[in-house]
Each structure stands twice: as C-alpha cells, then as structure tokens.
Amino acid sequence: MADACRRGAARISHGGRLSEKAFIGAGSSGAEWALLLECARANPDLQRVKEQLRQPVDWPVLFKLAEEHGVLGLLAIRLRRRGEAAAPPEVFERLRERQRAQALFTLRLTAEMFRLLDRFAEARVEALVIKGPVLSVRCYGDPGLRNYGDLDLIVRDADILRSTELMLGLGYEPSVPLTAIQAKKIPGEYVFRQTSTKLLVEFHTELTFRYHPRPLPLENLFARQARVDIDSHLVPALSPEDELVLICIHGAKHFWEHLSYIADVAAFLAVQELDWRRVLAAAEEVGGERMLCLGLRLAADVLGAPLPEKVAELRRSDRAIGPLADRIVQRLPDRGSAPPGIFERALFRMRMRGGIFSALAYLFRLSFSPTEEDWVEGAENKRHWLLDALGRPFRLARKYGNDGKS
C-alpha cells in the first residue's frame, strides 16, 4: 500500500507550475486567481507578483477569492512585502483591519488554549492540539496567519466524559446533549462553546475520525507527539509526520475545495523537516496513502511545493491520482458554485480508498456511521444507534442530492 503512495508522489512535478488556464473557472477572473495562487505559494516569486500587479486588478474579486479560500492572511503579507505602492490605500487599510481582527482573535484563542491545557494537565487528562494555531506556526511561523475559527484537540475516548466535566467547570457548554455523551453516542466532534466569549473548542477521539479509512491508532500518536513553541509555551501536538497525514486526510474529507488546504500542505513541505519513511508508514497505518498522495500532488502542481529527490525520483504513479487532481484543480477557482452531488461524493470517497472491496467498505462505513445530525431530537440517549445508522443514507441523500430529489 505504501508503494502506491510512493508511485503517486513520484509523478508530482518538483516545484512545477501548471498552466494558468488550468485554474481559470467560468465564474472567476483569471488574472486575480493567478495572483492569488502566486501569493499562496510557500516561496512566491516576488518579481512575478510585481509583474501581475502591473496589470489591472479587480480588488473586490481578489478579496472575495482570498476570503472564500481562507488565504487572506497570505495575500496581505505578500502585498505588504511589495510595499504600499502594491495596492491602493483603501485595500491596505482593509487588509490591516482584517489582520487586526485576526490577531485579536488569535490572542484570545491562544490564551484560552494555554488555560485549557494547564487545567487538563492538572487533571492528568492528556490532550494534543491539532490544526489551528499549531499548524499556523508550523507552516508560517505565526499563530495568526492561518484562517481558523476554533480550537481542535485530540483526547482519548475513555477521557471524553472527564473532558466534558472539565469544560463545564471552565465555563463551556456542550453542543452535544450531555445525556448523549453519557450514553456514549458518537458525534462528528464534541463541540463546546464558552458562554461569555463564544469561543469554540472541538474535541476529537479515535472514534470521531470517521474519514480515516482505518481506526486511528491514538496511543501511537500520543507516543510520537511533539511540542510546538507558541509564545514561549510548549504546546503538545502531533509529530510533523502525523500532522501531514492528518491535514491531507482533512483536505480529502472536504474535497480540497479551499485553496488554504493546499497552501497548508505546500507550506508544511517547504518548512518542516520530515522523515519520509515515517510519513509513509503513518499514512499506511490509517489507510490514507492515496489521500496523502493526492495532497502532495496538489501542493506540488498547484503551488510548487518542494519534494525530496527520493520521493520525486520515483516515476511510476498511482493512475487514479492524476484524474482526481485534475478534477479538483478544475473546480477550485469557483469553489461552492457547483458543489459535488451525492453520487460524485460517493465516487470520490471510494477512489480515495482504492481497491474495489476496501473502497466499498469505506463508503459503507461512512454512509452508515451516524453523527449528531442523524440523531432524533429529544431521543439522543434513547434511540438505538442502528436506527440512526439506517436513517443516515436518507439524510445524506436529502442534503447532497440534486435539489433534494436524489
């Protein structure tokens, strides 16, 4: 299985750049999209940015694209490096306002993260921080440069009741009914909202990572954990190799519909020192080889992410990766204008797994693993999980079917 990943990674062009025409969608401006792509690269060509800025720029279109794709922070820092003449004064003022707002939010969230981690450590409940400020520091050296709106932590399923008690004591309210948590119902994630500040914290366990084809080996993740320095606090996090696999699976979960997902992978590859043997082993451990390969392919082809020679030199590929990447690239500029329907979603899930039997098993599990959206309101802790599972495909058909008719 790791061989398929190696072959898929081998086909990625090392630091290559696809034709801009490949990225121009029917509803987006090619010039603005090309500029945004350059700004989202881990190491943008500033001369190229300068040349693009000499052309007329539709700033409202550029802002909309950057916001929709979660890369406004990257756009701001690239333009700032070009100096005040790079954009009209009102554009810089708007960027500064957004950056101030994000900086304030980041300060609040990271301060709260430190408070939560201290409290959990006192209670001897082990937790790892994923994505959010940790990923932002790992990718960009700044906890506030990525666009995120909550804090994500991993805890053991055995600790979720204790974690809930701790969160209640810290002034949070669970979005999942407490009775359902006590009844061992498994939501998509355990979301807690602080009543005073409205900050969101999401807890994940080995049972909530449904989009990992194989069960998450949580004890291995805790054993391989690393520390990320944020404001002189050493924050417990996944190893870099495990984090790379996780963000590729997360991108696949969301069909890579945001440029930010690809930008994170590209920046991660450019900055982090990775043990590729461990990367491939971690992907194989959870059945995510093809998801990893697709993430690497997109990061390299779309944003010129670097890959080591021992990965890039392998020439043969997983044949499914190319068509999958091409389809994602085609849809990327006009994210959300034509979301995939239920059958396209199902086919993508199957192709992400690879192999007819494993693909069908993966799709079956995703189709019949109920979350809180499938629970009957008021009966979360009473209705049998089998009834929730049987109702899930019908809910998915209503949600993702064409005009609700599939």
Q: According to the model, what pLDDT value does residue 320 have?
A: 83
Distance CA 149, CA 191 (A): 12
Distance CA 87, CA 223 (A): 48
Q: According to the model, what pLDDT value does residue 1 have?
A: 45
Spell out the domains of the chain, with CATH numbers in brackets: 2-336 (3.30.460.40), 337-406 (no CATH)
Cite the beta strand spans of 35-166 per DSSP E. 128-130, 151-154
Q: Measuring CA to CA, which residue among 381, 361, 377, 379 is closest to residue 369?
A: 361
Give me the tens of pLDDT residue by residue for the chain, a chain 406 residues long.
445 444 444 444 344 444 444 444 434 468 899 999 999 999 998 888 888 888 889 999 999 999 999 999 999 988 888 776 778 888 888 888 988 999 999 999 999 999 999 999 999 999 999 999 999 999 999 999 998 989 999 999 999 999 999 999 999 999 988 888 888 888 899 999 998 888 999 999 999 999 999 999 999 999 999 999 999 999 999 999 999 999 999 999 999 999 999 999 999 999 999 999 999 999 999 999 999 999 999 998 899 998 777 665 433 457 788 889 999 998 898 865 667 778 888 899 998 988 788 888 888 888 887 777 777 666 566 666 666 666 777 777 777 765 444 4
Q: According to the model, what pLDDT value does residue 357 have?
A: 83
Cite the beta strand spans of 159-224 per DSSP E. 172-174, 190-194, 200-204
Q: Measuring CA to CA, which residue among 50, 30, 29, 28 is closest to residue 39?
A: 50
Q: According to the model, what pLDDT value does residue 206 have?
A: 96
Q: How many CB atoms lie within 10 A of CB 130?
A: 21
For the chain, what percentages of helix, strand and coil (3-state, to nearest 5) are there? 60, 5, 35
* DSSP letter for each residue of 227-283: EEEETTEEEEE--HHHHHHHHHHHHHHTTT-SHHHHHHHHHHHHH----HHHHHHHH
Q: According to the model, what pLDDT value does residue 12 have?
A: 41
Q: According to the model, what pLDDT value does residue 91 have?
A: 87
Q: According to the model, what pLDDT value does residue 183 have?
A: 85
Distance CA 373, CA 366 (A): 14
Q: According to the model, what pLDDT value does residue 7 have?
A: 45
Distance CA 27, CA 335 (A): 10
Torsion, CA 131, CA 136, CA 140, CA 142, rounded to 10: -160
Distance CA 222, CA 154 (A): 9
- Alpha-helix runs per DSSP H in 123-217: 132-140, 160-169, 178-182
Distance CA 258, CA 65 (A): 10
pTM: 0.88
Distance CA 100, CA 103 (A): 5
Distance CA 78, CA 66 (A): 12
Q: According to the model, what pLDDT value does residue 382 have?
A: 63
Q: Measuring CA to CA, which residue among 231, 228, 268 is closest to residue 246?
A: 268
Distance set, CA 124 to CA 132, 155, 166, 363 (Å): 23, 11, 11, 37
Distance CA 374, CA 118 (A): 35
Q: According to the model, what pLDDT value does residue 26 have?
A: 37
